[in-house]
Copies of this chain bind each other. A is one copy, B any other.
Amino acid sequence: MTPAEIDGYLDDCRVLALEELERIVPAHGRYAPVLYGLMLDYPRRVSKGLRPALCIATCRALGGALEPVLSSAAVLELYHNAFLIHDDVEDGSELRRDRPTLHRTHGVPVAVNVGDAMLALALEPLLDNMAAVGLGKALRIMRVVARMARESAEGQALELDWMRRGRWDLTDVDYVRMVYKKTSWYTFIAPVLIGAIVTGASPAALAELRRFAALLGIAFQIQDDVLNLVGEQARYGKEIAGDLWEGKRTLALSHALRSTQTGDREQMCAVLLKPRPYDEGDPGVHKTSDEVRWLAGLIDRSGGVDYAQRVAGRYARRAARALQRATWIEPSIHRDFLAALVDFVVDRDR
């Protein structure tokens, strides 16, 4: 598949899920302007649309029809965007998909409430699913959604705990465990499992697909962190070096901390621990742009970005092999798309 074909596939799925979402979210009435309209704000901003594409492609690759999987794909978008809104509050992020975050435009109270309402609203199409895919599959999909939400909350809890306690003595294994929960489960594993469940896939098939999705998710997140360090803001849509401003743990940073001399390392940790300018705390203790640039320079000189990209490449190759072994998935454009995603996640620049 060419990059343009991948983009086309992603875009088609994003539009399909958005149209379904617009059917699920009440667009009229008293609560539309204060609640439901805001639910569609993030989903309507341009995004990759990875989750619906993974869900739809898996279902189609396994011989399933489009119609019965659409509502689950929309539910995934509803959850995803709810967590994005809450993540933006938690991280104090300023931009999301090139535009101000919801809590910046409407305040923290509205943003928290809109996210909660999206999580609540997601229950209804999951229950309605029984008519579309049957009781057994609908219940299995709900179990996956419950697990997905738990895993990402656990991953988020780990990361927040590291940041709160100023933990820098982390290994790559710690990082991968966090990312497996936070990114793999909710961006890759759940969409792939749900797409497969709709087709009635066997437990063995689900296990193979899950392995593929887990590995791909880890590769994706490592590349995401790399883009945060080196990407162009216009292409990527988030604040550049936002992870350094926020003090997030990434492979490139861990590598730099390991390969830097003790004095510099202590200085790095001290800077990383400082809050950002608009966070609470005394103005004197905030990070400065110079300090963030200094951190980025140290990571650069340590070869942290190359290191992270090598690790991402290894996970991507393992994901590719996991998919190759699933020879029971017949050739199709949908299978091709899943295979093409492997290179896409590590080669992408957005």
Q: Which of B108, B123, B157 contacts A34 (CB 8 A)?
A: B157
Instruction: Give residues in A with beta carbon < 8 Å to B.
Output: 30-31, 33-35, 83, 86, 89-91, 106-110, 112-117, 119-121, 123-124, 127, 130, 135, 139, 142-143, 145-146, 149-150, 153-154, 156-158, 160-161, 164
Is B110 touching A150 in the complex (CB atoms < 8 A)?
no
10 CB contacts below 8 A, A to B, read A31-B154, A35-B153, A86-B116, A89-B112, A109-B160, A119-B119, A119-B120, A121-B146, A127-B146, A130-B139
Is A91 touching B109 in the complex (CB atoms < 8 A)?
yes
Is A35 touching B154 in the complex (CB atoms < 8 A)?
yes
A219 to chain B, nearest CB (A): 24
Contact A109:B90 (CB < 8 A) given known A31-B157, A83-B116, A150-B121: yes
A109 to chain B, nearest CB (A): 4
Is A157 touching B35 in the complex (CB atoms < 8 A)?
yes
Is A113 touching B153 in the complex (CB atoms < 8 A)?
yes
Is A150 touching B109 in the complex (CB atoms < 8 A)?
no
Name A125's closest neighbour in chain B (CB-CB).
Answer: B146
Q: Which of B34, B120, B149, B160 contacts A110 (CB 8 A)?
A: B160
Residues of B with C-beta under 8 A to A127? 139, 142-143, 146
